[in-house]
Structure 1
Amino acid sequence: MMVSYGAIFLFMSPTLLELLRRTFISRYVVIEKNVHAHKIAAYTFFFWMVAHIAAYYYIFEGVAANSNGNVKFSYMLFETKVGKTGHALLFLFFALCVASIPVVRRKFHEVFYLMHHMFIPTTILLFIHDNNKSFSYYIAGPGAIYCIDRIYRLVRSRFRHPRILSVIQHPSNVIELKIEKRGMNFQVGQFAYINVPSISLLEWHPFTLTSAPEEDELSMHIWIAGGWTRKLVLALQGCAVSTLQQQPPANLVQLSDESKEPMYRSSSVSKQSTGELSGVSTKSGPAIPGGTLRALADQELLMHHLRGEIDPISGLPKPGVESQYNYMRSPRDSHRPWSRVGRHSVVLLDRLPPEIDYRMSGSYAVPPVAKIAEFQPAIKLPKIMIDGPYGAPTQQVFDYEHIVLIAGGIGVTPMSSVLKSLYYQLTSAQHERRIVKVYFLWVCRDIQSLEWFQDLLVALDEEDIGDVLEIRTYLTGQLNIDQIRNIALYQDPDGPDAVTGLYRSPTYYGRPNFNSIFENIGLTTPGSEIGVFFCGPKAMGRTIRKISRKWTNNFRYANTKFVFHKENF
């Protein structure tokens, strides 16, 4: 029982696990299963604890029966040190197990997180409960490792306060958060823990890094699912609206010399009426002071916010409000073709580069060297602390020459990091090309979800890498009449796909036939070890795991093997 309690702490020491991942142990132990092992250790401890209590109930009942009434059964249960601490431990651990039920964990993550910190009084009670003091021998090592790990992560995160660079609201309750890299080195598919002290000092939430290691910033796509993520979005939306409410003076002009090119000169706003495709019009956006924030540059979108026509949870226009936005990317993002924002997405915040000067002047003829005042309203963004990065199965993706990436919904986040890194590898002469073939399958429920990484897919589709990358997008949700009409009307046989904008990759409607897909891949890659990387719903993961095993057995004669890797989702 005590061994399992000590193992509970070891399996939740991410720094230790990250060190083990770099050793030969990772060849024989699946480090990514640490959460599963943590649960097994906890269930084992709970089982033996109940058995231990039942045995003592039997012993106490026998002692009370043989004491001729001198010792009461209730006294031994609720008035002795062993009885009181034992029942307290049972109550605490039972409450912790209830808070760990998947339904509770998803809907009430704060309860799950706070209840897990009941390990502190639980450990103290175990020390008091143990008369023989043998518990200390089992908990000393694992407890010390866990405490050192926790302190190290806490100190490291306190010195890592990256600035928020931009926040983009995507359809289907997803926000994209871009922050400074601050020298943090990571690999594709890894994740980091995020803490926002203004929301909660105690809560740390893991999010997959969707940017590539080759990029100079970190990006995360956060699904708005619980109370913490909702509070984060509301805080960022509040900053966005506050920024626009602090309008610069009327005589504020933008100056630049020959060495400084002004950015964000215009915003491209795309409007779409019912049954019509959007036409793009360009107009000058409002001047927002340098060094502060560019937030919701389009005035019409601001009015939607102020009139309450924006859903406070999703951040998107409420039903009946016809506004769709498509902002142009800035020159600083020209080397990243996927940086343009989708037409159904909303730029909440975008920090301007420091090179741009917005200055007070009554004339455009004032030279840059003139003595003029700067307008800089104070907009306070939520402070973010980051802990990581930590390893994940997807970081092994480039160990294979043949790769199958399968994503379900928001499970595309680790795959986007892989695809971005693949783009850099295939378009840069500095990278040695080792990848032979990559199959990317993305299963989405609605069209709007495809816009999260649509520009990334378009950028990959436009490159001459069709022999390396094959993209397949699947729509499983039901389309409405307007969507069907638009697709049928604007689908050009010789043009891009009407849904994704891809030339080489049409959109498939319905669920993918994984059996047929794996069979075709196995037939075209005989004698290969194919890495299958999946992130998405558990039911889909179980199906793909079974199919991987099935076709590994079927292609045993050709020495073809499908190696399945599942991301914790």
Structure 2
Amino acid sequence: MGNWLVNEGVSIFVILVWLGINAFLFVNFFNVYEAGEKFYYTRELLGSALAWARAPAACLNFNCMLILLPVCRNLLSFLRGSCGCCRRQLDRNISFHKLVAYMIALHTAIHIIAHLFNFERFMTSQGYENETLNNVLSKLGNDESYLNPIRDPNTNPTKVAFTTLAGLSGIAITLALILMITTSTEIIRRSYFEVFWYTHHLFVIFFAGLVIHGVGRIVRGQTEGSLHNHNATFCKDKYMEWGNIRQCPVPVFSGNPPMTWKWVVGPMFLYVCERLVRFCRSHQKVVITKVVTHPSKVLELQMKKRGFKMEVGQYVFVQCSKISRLEWHPFTLTSSPEEDHFSIHVRIVGDWTDSLFKVCGGDQKEFREAWKLPSITVDGPFGTASEDVFLYETAVLVGAGIGVTPFASILKSVWYKYTHSDPNLKLKKIYFYWLCRETSAFEWFADLLQSLESQMLERGNANFLSYNIYLTGWDENQATHFAMHHEAQTDVITGLKQKTLYGRPNWENEFKNIATNHPSTNVGVFLCGPQALAKTLNKMSIAHSSADPRGVHFIFNKENF
């Protein structure tokens, strides 16, 4: 239990608090509308559907207040630097963003279904031929003091939905939400990133509709003055005498003032400031100093930008106006802070990256002058979990495929600090694991590992970095070829002294060995890779952490974009 709390305790606490606030708001507002005297006559018309519509509306206000905060990347980067106690929770910003979005979808569904029942009750209450309480209530009032917004029993429901402010804004909010959620699924986001990118900007319509949705004041209750003069419990059975007896004057109703803007104005202001900062920063000139085409269609861009400062493992957003003026794509920085430039490695996997490969001359063999290269805009850098690698004496770095990019920056910077005897360098040992499906994926990163390997041998500290490279997508022919060359001094695939391994790591054995070698140590485990691997490593981190506070503890961290 203690091991689990080390890795997940604070995150679970945050989620429980968030769920608790949602539950409190739902129950509290449900009781207000289900039992409050102000809405006694409203309940006579609508029944419990009134409370079922208003309770999720309160939760929607709360969650719509939160939804923008996890994507204020400059704010998160600032908090990472000033709040050391909650940095790991800030790294899970996208996961929390998704959870809040699902909660918004749930409450939106409840809200819509309940209001469909309310609308039906409003219609039927106007249609009673006998003078029932519902019929009397529906006919009360003028343009300001009515209770039932449906003033004519022959009203067309479709016309109401598409001509009233509440109806139009509600439809716009719902459509925007459906499009944003459905196009943000893993399949769409990875295969059709542009679709995800454009539809996600419907959040502007979503928030605009959200702010004006309540202006129509559809949900109404007795005014304070009417409550004082007209006791609903006493007068409800005397509705035929309202206005004729002193104790029961005709009740007066008013709509609830719109409240959503009070919840979302703060986050919206922060997000606008965020976008302004990013807009100004992204318009600073970027110069491409070098373009390198690596095997397996990996493009390396080395760039310079005045005032650009980075930390290891950080990422930037990149835009190429020659491809699209609207699309920004995140890429991890592969350079180290000590270098005089910053670089990214781009794997060609989609339309945008393929276009970038071509406009940068990746498909051409001849040299290309710098002035012929496209204009690149860079926004960032932004903080990630990998920044925390220097907080540990021992680190386990796990990269899958192109997910190795943040560790290129880390390994370069760590070795620079180590060779220059940086007194602030706490890190003493690195375990590096790289998993790839194909041999061609190793080629671009092998040069860096070869350089580190040779330098470590020269300095007599080959044990500082232990690395293991795994080829996961292999067949019988490759295995035979591997066996034939196993006795060679260097690996036939990478050219490194450390031989490439086939299959997948036995994480149980790896974690056991690390725990044995580093007792009484906090070991940072860092992953840039798929969610399935993240679950495995998180499970291993918990399982192999000691119950004794003085023992070894594995702290799991994952890159999120």
Question: Could you say which residue in structure 1 is the equivalent of 2:490?
Answer: 496
Mapping of 1:132-171 within 5 angstroms? Answer: 132-159=257-284, 161-171=285-295
Q: Distance in 1 between matches of 2:442 and 2:154?
A: 74
Mean Cα displacement is larger for which, 112-121 or 130-139?
130-139
- Identify which of 211, 225, 228 aligns with 1:127: 211
More relative contact order, 1 or 2 (CA 8 Å, 6+ apart): 1
CA deviation after TM superposition for structure 1 residue 440, in Å: 0.7
Q: Secondary structure of the residue that 1:552 maps to in structure 2?
A: coil
1:564 equivalent in alignment to 2:556? yes
Contact 2:436 2:473 in 1 (8 A): yes
Q: 1:35 aligns with which of 66, 75, 94?
A: 94
Deviation of 1:486 after TM superposition, in Å, equals: 5.8
Q: Deviations over 1:254-286 (max 9, x none)?
A: xxxxxxxxxxxxxxxxxxxxxxxxxxxxxxxxx
State the alpha-carbon separation in 1 of the partners of residues 464 and 198 from structure 2.
47
1:236-275 aligned at under 5 Å gives the runs 236-237=360-361, 240=364, 244=366
Post-superposition Cα deviations, 1:458-504, rounded to whole Å, max 9, x if no partner, equal 112112322211111111121574x56765555554x222222222x
Q: Does 1:21 align with 2:80?
A: yes
How far apart are the structure 1 equivalents of 2:385 and 2:441?
24
**Equivalent residue number for residue 219 of structure 2:** none
Aligned residues: 432
Residues of 1 paired with 2:479 and 2:410: CA distance?
A: 32
Using the alignment, how far apart are the partners of 2:515 and 2:88 within structure 1?
27
* Pairwise CA distance, 1:125: 2.0
1:4 to partner: Cα distance: 1.0
- 1:557 is displaced (CA, Å) by 7.9
**Structure 1 counterpart of 2:409, from 411, 417, 425:** 417
Aligned-partner Cα distance in 2 for 1:48–1:423: 51
2-structure distance, mates of 1:432, 1:40: 38
Residue number in structure 2 paired with 1:230: 354
In the alignment, is the contact (CA less than 8 A) between 1:20 and 1:26 conserved in 2?
Answer: no
* 1:542 aligned residue (520, 524, 535): 535
Would the aligned equivalents of 2:392 and 2:523 in 1 still touch at CA under 8 Å? yes
Over the residues paired in the alignment, what is the CA RMSD in angstroms?
Answer: 2.2
Q: Find the residue that maps to 2:310 and give its secondary structure.
A: coil
Aligned in 2, Cα 1:387/1:46: closer, same or farther, shift over 3 Å? same
Q: What residue in structure 2 maps to residue 2 of structure 1?
A: 61
**Structure 2: which amino acid aligns with 1:60?**
F
8 Å CA contact retained: 2:435, 2:471: yes
Identical aligned residues as a percent: 36
Kindly provide the CA deviation profile for residues 228-247 of structure 1, in whole angstroms up to 9, marking residues without a partner as x.
Answer: 11111121127946xx4xxx
Distance of 2:480 and 2:307 partners within structure 1: 49
Structure 1 residue runs without a partner (length 5+): 245-294, 296-348, 352-378
Q: 1 or 2, which has the higher helix percentage?
A: 2
Match of 1:97 in 2: 181
Residue 430 of structure 1, CA deviation: 5.0
Match of 1:163, SS state, is strand
Asked if 1:57 is matched to 2:57, the reply is: no
- Say whether 1:200 aligns with 2:324: yes
Pairwise mapping of residues 265-344 of structure 1 onto structure 2 (< 5 A)? 295=367
Match of 2:375 among 373, 383, 404: 383
Structure 1 position 72, deviation (Å): 4.0
Correspondence 1:80 to 2:164: yes
- 2:428 paired residue among 413, 436, 445: 436
Q: Which residue of 2 aligns with 1:454?
A: 446
Q: 1:171 deviation in Å?
A: 3.0
Match of 2:467 in 1: 471
Say if 1:502 and 1:118 are closer, same or farther in 2 by CA, change over 3 A: same
* Amino acid in the other structure paired with 2:386: T
Distance 2:85 2:329 in 1: 25
The separation in 1 between residues aligned to 2:358 and 2:450, in whole angstroms, is: 31
How far does residue 94 in structure 1 lie from its aligned partner after superposition?
Answer: 0.9
Q: How does 1:524-543 map to 2 (within 5 A)?
A: 524-543=517-536
1-structure distance, mates of 2:322, 2:508: 48
User: Structure 1-normalised TM-score?
Assistant: 0.72
After superposing on structure 2, the runs of 4+ consecutive aligned residues of structure 1 that deviate more than 6 Å are: none
Q: Is the 8 A contact 1:60 1:76 kept in 2?
A: no
Unaligned 5+ runs, structure 2 = 1-59, 128-152, 216-256
CA deviation map 1:7-53 (0-9, x unaligned): 11111111111111122364376111111111122222222122111
Task: Answer yes or no: is 1:399 the counterpart of 2:395.
Answer: no
SS in structure 1 opposite 2:378? strand
1:197-221 superposed Cα distances (whole Å, 9 cap, x missing partner): 1111111111000111111111111
Q: CA deviation at 1:558?
A: 6.0
Deviation at 1:67, TM superposition (A): 1.0
Name which of 159, 176, 182 aligns with 2:300: 176
Cα distance in 1, alignment partners of residues 536 and 65 from structure 2? 34
Task: Compare 174-183 and 450-459 and name the one that shifted more.
Answer: 174-183
